Amino acid sequence: MMTSTASLSPSPAGAGIFSTPTLASDPRHLLGLEGRTREDLLALLDAAAHERDHLRAGGPDRSDLAGCVVMLAFIEDSTRTRTSFDIAARRLGAQTIAFSASASSLNKGESLLDTARLFEAMGAQLLVVRHSVSGAAAYLAQRLPRMAVINAGDGMHEHPTQGLLDLLTLRDHWKGQFEGRRLVIVGDIAHSRVARSAIAGLTVLGAQVTVCGPETLIPADVEALGCWRATTLDEALEGADGVMALRLQRERMEKGLLPALGEYASRFGVTPARVRLMKPGAPVMHPGPVTRGVDLPCEVADGESSVVLEQVANGVAVRCAVLQRAWSAWKAVHR
Ligand code: ASP
């Protein structure tokens, strides 16, 4: 049986530590998708689609971000997000500086804020930050008056550029129509910032979200995010317009939450038979990294329903659009 209740705040512990009305409405920053209007989301998707046309046309690199220094501060591991921000920034003519925890004074006990203040003092204008603590991006945005902050994933809170690339991918497959569509998100919802951003964006745009996974990995109040909970994956997928599988985020789990992998794969793996329960042509998504044979069997990960690499390509376009917006807003305030 699926259940749904009224939508309360999607934030796990109240909105205050993740953003404030002033930060959320400041176009220099992108801290989350929660609370954004439909118009704002659609404008970002249009801008990303426009950037994608440029990228696909394969023209020369541009100079829109000439004079802009982008700090890529990934204090947590990343492959796709860091690389695509780097590619996007360079294609637009920015200078990028990659900063990692292991090769820096963070290792010597310097705080994240003191480190970020160095970037600001050195004249970097944009800070793309990933951190294991929920609220880290908002914390920095509040304290760095001369920097635009883009959240590249903060703990279990949000991953807004992933949310936007997921929306762009679904918009393509859903022929521009979000209303009346339903996406299933399966797996470790409790620890997933990707799920939070997707749910926030999709519900504003009029689509429904059904979540499914082991009970220990679904937040008790998940319906408060505005989505539905299904008990079995088969029930969830019946007639759905798409599915997003998630990895088990062991690095964020307390002991005892993780089910046996074989049992997990048989109950929650998106098998070819399960793909056939959805509407014909419904896309299979995954934010990566994929644990093959667990979240997705190889034949589905590499099969014709999989749009995983489309998501990756859309990630560069989305990050171009987000960087453009942050830089224009930064210049409007500081120049
Ligand atoms: N790459 C995504 C994230 O950073 C998903 C994952 O790690 O499973 O949240």
Answer yes or no: do 112 and 200 share one domain.
no
Answer yes or no: do 140 and 171 share one domain.
no
Cα of 205 vs centre of ligand 1, distance in Å, is: 23
Tell whether ligand 1 has an atom less than 6 A from the beta carbon of residue 195.
no
> Are 71 and 78 spatial neighbours (Cβ–Cβ below 8 Å)?
no
pLDDT in tens, 64-82: 999 999 999 999 989 999 9
Query: For residue 13, what pLDDT band results from cuts at 50, 70 and 90?
Result: very low
pLDDT in tens, 221-279: 999 999 999 999 999 999 999 999 999 888 877 766 666 888 899 999 999 999 999 99
> Are 242 and 285 spatial neighbours (Cβ–Cβ below 8 Å)?
yes
What is the reported pLDDT for 60?
A: 82
Cα–Cα distance, 146 to 231 (Å, whole number): 48
Residue range 114-127: mean pLDDT, rounded:
94
96 lies in some domain: yes
9 has a pLDDT exceeding 60: no
Both structure tokens of 266: 């048989």
**Burial (Cβ within 10 Å: 0-12, 13-18, ≥19) of residue 62:** middle
Q: Which of 40, 250, 332, 67 is nearest to 163 (CA)?
A: 40
67 lies in some domain: yes
Q: Which residue has the higher pLDDT, 227 or 4?
A: 227
Shortest-distance atom of ligand 1 to CA 159: 9
What is the reported pLDDT for 4?
A: 33
Answer yes or no: do 169 and 105 share one domain.
no
What is the reported pLDDT for 255?
A: 65
Tell whether ligand 1 has an atom less than 6 A from the beta carbon of residue 315.
no
Compute how many other C-beta atoms are within 10 angstroms of the C-beta atom of residue 219: 18
Residue 289, preceding peptide bond in cis (omega within 30° of 0): yes
Answer yes or no: do 116 and 185 share one domain.
no
What's phi and psi for 301, nearest 5 deg?
Answer: -55, -35
Residue range 22-49: mean pLDDT, rounded:
95
Query: For residue 99, what pLDDT band results from cuts at 50, 70 and 90?
Result: confident
Tell whether ligand 1 has an atom less than 6 A from the beta carbon of residue 288.
yes
Shortest-distance atom of ligand 1 to CA 247: 8
Answer yes or no: do 150 and 250 share one domain.
no
Shortest-distance atom of ligand 1 to CA 130: 4
Answer yes or no: do 183 and 155 share one domain.
no
Tell whether ligand 1 has an atom less than 6 A from the beta carbon of residue 287.
yes
Q: Which residues pair with 235 in a beta bridge?
A: none
Tell whether ligand 1 has an atom less than 6 A from the beta carbon of residue 153.
yes
7 has a pLDDT exceeding 60: no
189 lies in some domain: yes
Answer yes or no: do 228 and 285 share one domain.
yes
Cα of 176 vs centre of ligand 1, distance in Å, is: 26
200 lies in some domain: yes
7 lies in some domain: no
Domain that holds residue 198: 160-307
Q: Which of 207, 245, 206, 212 is nearest to 229 (CA)?
A: 212
pLDDT in tens, 181-229: 999 999 999 999 999 999 999 999 999 999 999 999 999 899 999 999 9
Share of the chain above pLDDT 70, in %: 92
Answer yes or no: do 30 and 152 share one domain.
yes
Answer yes or no: do 79 and 152 share one domain.
yes
217 lies in some domain: yes
Answer yes or no: do 326 and 279 share one domain.
no
Q: Looking at the 3D structure of the chain, how many domains does it have?
A: 2
Answer yes or no: do 188 and 114 share one domain.
no
15 lies in some domain: no
202 lies in some domain: yes
Give the mutation target among 80, 194, 217 for probing the ligand 1 site: most ligand atoms within 8 A of CB: 194
Tell whether ligand 1 has an atom less than 6 A from the beta carbon of residue 193.
yes
Compute how many other C-beta atoms are within 10 angstroms of the C-beta atom of residue 262: 11
6 has a pLDDT exceeding 70: no
The CATH number assigned to the domain holding 234 equals 3.40.50.1370
Answer yes or no: do 164 and 255 share one domain.
yes
